Homo-oligomer: A and B are copies of this chain.
Amino acid sequence: MNESKSPEPNKIDRIIHEPARLKIFTCLDPVDNADFIFLLHETGLSKGNLSSHLSKLELAGYVEIEKTFIGKIPRTLISLSKKGRKSFQDYKNAIVQILELK
């Protein structure tokens, strides 16, 4: 009944592997959540790219996106899902294996 598994060991997850998204992961990993503007500055991506990468991550189930309004201005809160955190950890382990780091 586990619809998603981590079947191939040392298999690189291309969704995470993309440099722009790697930055997003490393920004989100240590925190509970972050807003769009924070990520924008932290990652150095353009608004357009950040938006589309986030959509991709959301589609993959790696992040959760919550849109609220603070007064009248929109605010987008992004957080890593449980699955996202797990997959990121797996990704890092795979990279360490493959590159024979540490």
Q: Does B100 lie within 8 Å of A101, measured CB to CB?
A: no
Using known A-B contacts A12-B19, A19-B17, determine if residue A102 contacts B102 with beta carbons closer than 8 Å: yes
Chain A 1-21: CB-based contact to B (< 8 A → 1; otherwise 0): 000000000001010010100
This chain: how many copies in the complex? Answer: 2
**A interface residues, tally (CB under 8 Å):** 15
Question: What's the minimum C-beta distance from A36 to chain B, rounded to whole angstroms?
Answer: 21
Using known A-B contacts A19-B12, A19-B17, determine if residue A101 contacts B102 with beta carbons closer than 8 Å: yes
8 residue pairs from A and B, CB less than 8 Å apart: A14-B19, A17-B17, A17-B19, A23-B98, A26-B98, A92-B99, A95-B95, A95-B101
Q: Could you tell me which A residues sit within 8 Å of B by CB distance?
A: 12, 14, 17, 19, 22-23, 26, 92, 95-96, 98-102
> What 6 A-B pairs come out closest when comparing CB atoms?
A12-B19, A102-B102, A92-B99, A101-B101, A96-B101, A22-B98
